[in-house]
Structure 1
């Protein structure tokens, strides 16, 4: 059975806007490797549209190899997009979800293969409420943003996590790997 892994960047104050943070070579390398360990990544409309930014590096590579490598990795991994308003997606490796989130995740979980990643705040919140996330990987940047979307602001029930691993980057960012315990 596949694992459903929510992987998200956030600041010390819990802000998880994809436009904040301080990713560097090490973090890009980490996420490039992580994407190579999965069969798909699930996005909501907003995050999908933000991630389309990486397509520009395929046509006009950066001087930074780690960014180009990440762009290649994000281009390769199949993306399933959940949206009530998008009628189509034009990224070749992306498709619009045919079913609702719960049904899609339950179906993907039962299939054989590699991990399924969740890369959108809104989907993570929904899946936490449905108890369908196996692992939470939070990359915490050593900064306070002060404004923006907080990851857990719409969670009203207790959820207990077990810390199973950490990874520290030279920049001071840290990834906390949590398993979700049943609550």
Structure 2
């Protein structure tokens, strides 16, 4: 049974949209140090090395393609290239050159539930805000890894959509990255998959 992990860059006010500023809200990386960026990259590499597969929405997939991940060099790029990548999309991929990319075109909830049964390890979701909302709504998420930036964005898509019900989470790990980033790891209620992070309490 796979563990579905939502791994997000997130602002202090809960925004997950556009951390690199492509939509004019400012690049969050402008507000952290060079050391923070280096340590963040090491964290992302470690997560990729520990993943068994990636799950993403079509827009996030296209964003990765547009940023040159198909041809980038280095250990991180190589790892992403070799990982199975499952893309939620109603149409075929425009650029299938990113190795090991497969489309999930059926019912999202059923497809992801089946995928969790097939993957033996971490199934990691980066970005993909709309998909994340669907996964959270249908209780398919086992763990949240939130890389928290010391910035208030003020507008943009947030991790959790509006809800009328309380949803308690269990904090299982807290640590800093570089000088200014905090990584918070939560296990979702009802998850039968244990976290490998160290206990926060």
Q: Within 1, Cα distance between the matches of 2:7 and 2:42? A: 14
> Displacement, 1:12?
0.8
- Aligned residue pairs total 174
Partner of 1:104: 111
1:124-182, Cα deviation, whole Å (9 max, x unpaired): 11111111111111111111222221121344433211100012112311111001114
Q: Are 1:9 and 1:21, in contact at CA under 8 Å, matched by a contact in 2?
A: no
TM-score calculated relative to the size of structure 2: 0.77
Report the aligned-residue RMSD: 2.2
Please list every run of at least 4 consecutive aligned residues from structure 1 whose deviation after the TM superposition is greater than 4 angstroms. Answer: none
Partner of 2:80: 74
- Of residues 44, 47, 52, the one that matches 1:31 is 44
- Gapped regions of structure 1 (runs ≥ 5): 62-67
1:35-57, Cα deviation, whole Å (9 max, x unpaired): 11122111111111112214266
Partner of 2:173: 165
Q: Are 2:40 and 2:177, in contact at CA under 8 Å, matched by a contact in 1?
A: yes
- Of residues 106, 125, 144, the one that matches 2:152 is 144
Q: Are 2:10 and 2:146, in contact at CA under 8 Å, matched by a contact in 1?
A: yes
Partner of 1:55: 69
Q: Are 2:89 and 2:105, in contact at CA under 8 Å, matched by a contact in 1?
A: no
> Displacement, 1:98?
3.9
Residue aligned with 1:149, SS: coil
Q: Specify whether residues 138 and 28 from structure 1 end up closer, same or farther in structure 2 by C-alpha distance, changes over 3 A only.
A: same
Partner of 1:65: none
1:43-101, Cα deviation, whole Å (9 max, x unpaired): 1111111122142662xx5xxxxxx43322222222111123x4224222211114322
Q: Within 2, Cα distance between the matches of 1:54 and 1:138? A: 25
Q: Within 1, Cα distance between the matches of 2:69 and 2:173? A: 32
Partner of 1:95: 102
Q: Specify whether residues 142 and 57 from structure 1 end up closer, same or farther in structure 2 by C-alpha distance, changes over 3 A only.
A: farther
Residue aligned with 2:169, SS: strand
